């Protein structure tokens, strides 16, 4: 394997830090690195499929391995738990950055006031890791969209990464606000503002939904009362599958740059959905073998591209048969739909390292001998933006809670511009579903969408009065 493939990770806010702790615990088990940063005894899996530690770990002079990552939270509680927890020997003290006052679920506090004071410390930590690397390939940012730190501070970090490392890939793993369950009243404001700020600075964003993971944990794994550590365990398993090709050898390895090359047809349309199989509990795994194919269909939406990342005892022949079965399904039943202008559709990666069997004796998720993670760019994600815009509009009509953002340096015009930008993103997804004939006749507007240069004023729609209804083609908007 090429050792010049270092990836630096940033964990922002409470959700990002807790996801990061679960991810690094799983990485440690897969790489044979203990909680003190020292290598453990080599396992049979290590001998059969040796790991490349330098991708995500930096080796010190003393022979210990420390993660190439920075954790930051404006509120000290979560970071202090790591400083005093069982993983305190794994991290360098300078990697753990915490403030004294939290962002109070306020994007403006994370972006304009509190978060800006700590941006220098974060960028300095990232710079030290970048300079000690043989070749940084990219950055992965973990955060939530609904919190103040996860939204505001992430926007600052993303802008700083784009400014200091413009040629490096910038990926995100973000927790999207759940459709029904909410942890903060002002979630729609924060989520829409961070989406607007990072739309042009992020290359690819993988979205996860707490409510969907709750259903998986309760339905598939049989957990009676799922807690956040149960959800983070599932997220860590999916993230491990995404990065497995960077850490272990395989017959078809997938680079970070290949994700965006194959999944992102236009710069703004970079929100793939994540799917993973199998989710098998301890009881079920003893009586069943996971299939090669377990696909998901969206009734009225179309796939743009899919990236299938297999790991474990899977051979190319089985994968080709599974993909061929999908193509037959498309041709015969018309159930699984792809856009007409993307005929190929599939990117495949094969990695020899199987998932970790279990992280602890009470771990409800069993790795098994094989697994697959599918990253699919689909127009179905447009419904998530529609829901977010509807919730935003309901509050912004009354200017509810706006004064908290104005007191931290924001203006009403910032909300209007952000809302316009996300509406243009919704319109971009509508254009992707147009048939080829329509695409040819309207080639110029689509080309402008692809370059990200289109302004909302260039679009024609039904009129300004329908702006807050959630279903229109955006017109000229001056004031909501």
Residue 258 catalytic? yes
Strand partners for 10: 70, 141
Nearby residues of 66 by Cβ (< 8 Å), 6 or more positions away: 37, 57, 58, 60, 90, 91, 92, 95
User: Per the omega criterion (within 30 degrees of 0), is the bond before 278 cis?
Assistant: yes
Q: Which residues contact 441 (CB under 8 A, 6 or more apart)?
A: none
Looking at residue 173, the DSSP 8-state letter turns out to be E
Distance of alpha carbon 285 from alpha carbon 287, whole angstroms: 5
Catalytic residue among 52, 159, 258, 390: 258
Tell me the two tokens of residue 44: 């049979």
DSSP letters for 254-320: --HHHHHHHH-SSTT----EEEEE--B-HHHHTT----S------TT--EEEEEEEEEES--HHHHH
Give the count of alpha carbons within 13 A of 285, CB side only.
20
Residue for token pair 């098994």: 368
Among 106, 117, 119, smallest CA distance to 150 is for: 106
Specify the DSSP element, H or E, that contains 440. Answer: helix 436-441
Nearest Cα to Cα of residue 68 among 5, 148, 145, 159 = 5
> Between β-strands 273-277 and 370-378, what pairing exists: parallel, antiparallel or unpaired?
antiparallel
| Catalytic residue list | 258
């Amino acid at each position: 394997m090429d050792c010049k493939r270092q990836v630096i990770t940033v964990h922002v806010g409470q959700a990002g830090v807790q996801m990061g702790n679960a991810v690094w615990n799983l990485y440690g088990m897969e790489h044979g690195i203990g909680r003190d940063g020292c290598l453990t005894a080599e396992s049979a899996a290590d001998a059969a499929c040796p790991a490349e530690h330098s991708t995500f770990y930096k080796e010190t002079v003393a022979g210990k391995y420390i993660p190439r990552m920075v954790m930051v939270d404006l509120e000290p509680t979560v970071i202090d738990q790591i400083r005093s927890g069982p993983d305190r020997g794994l991290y360098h003290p300078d990697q753990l950055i915490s403030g004294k006052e939290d962002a109070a679920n306020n994007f403006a506090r994370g972006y304009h006031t509190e978060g800006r004071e700590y941006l220098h410390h974060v960028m300095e930590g990232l710079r030290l890791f970048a300079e000690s690397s043989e070749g940084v390939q990219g950055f992965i940012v973990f955060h939530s969209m609904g919190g103040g730190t996860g939204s505001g501070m992430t926007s600052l970090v993303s802008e700083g990464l784009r400014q200091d490392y413009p040629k490096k890939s910038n990926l995100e793993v973000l927790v999207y606000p759940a459709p029904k369950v909410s942890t903060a009243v002002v979630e729609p404001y924060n989520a829409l503002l961070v989406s607007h700020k990072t739309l042009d600075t992020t290359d690819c964003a993988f979205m996860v939904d707490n409510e969907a993971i709750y259903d998986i944990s309760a339905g598939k794994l049989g957990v009676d009362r799922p807690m956040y550590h149960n959800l983070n365990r599932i997220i860590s398993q999916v993230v491990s599958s995404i990065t497995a090709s960077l850490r272990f050898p395989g017959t078809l390895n997938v680079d970070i740059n290949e994700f965006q090359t194959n999944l992102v047809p236009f710069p703004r349309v970079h929100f793939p959905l994540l799917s993973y199989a199998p989710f098998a509990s301890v009881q079920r795994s003893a009586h069943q073998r996971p299939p090669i194919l377990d696909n998901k269909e969206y009734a009225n939406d179309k796939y743009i591209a899919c990236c299938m990342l297999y790991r474990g005892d899977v051979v190319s022949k089985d994968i080709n048969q599974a993909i061929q079965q999908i193509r037959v399904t498309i041709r015969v039943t018309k159930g699984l739909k792809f856009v007409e202008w993307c005929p190929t559709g599939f990117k495949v990666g094969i990695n020899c390292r199987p998932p970790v069997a279990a992280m602890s004796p009470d771990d409800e998720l069993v790795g098994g001998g094989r697994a697959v993670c599918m990253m699919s760019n689909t127009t179905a994600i447009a419904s998530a933006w529609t829901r977010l815009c509807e919730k935003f509009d309901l509050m912004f009509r009354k200017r509810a809670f706006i004064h908290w953002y104005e007191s931290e340096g924001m203006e009403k015009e910032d909300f209007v511009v952000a809302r316009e930008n996300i509406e243009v993103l919704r319109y971009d997804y509508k254009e992707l579903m147009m048939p080829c004939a329509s695409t040819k006749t309207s080639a110029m507007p689509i080309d402008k969408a692809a370059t990200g240069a289109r302004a909302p004023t260039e679009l024609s729609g039904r009129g300004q009065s329908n702006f807050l209804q959630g279903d229109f083609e955006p017109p000229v908007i001056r004031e909501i």
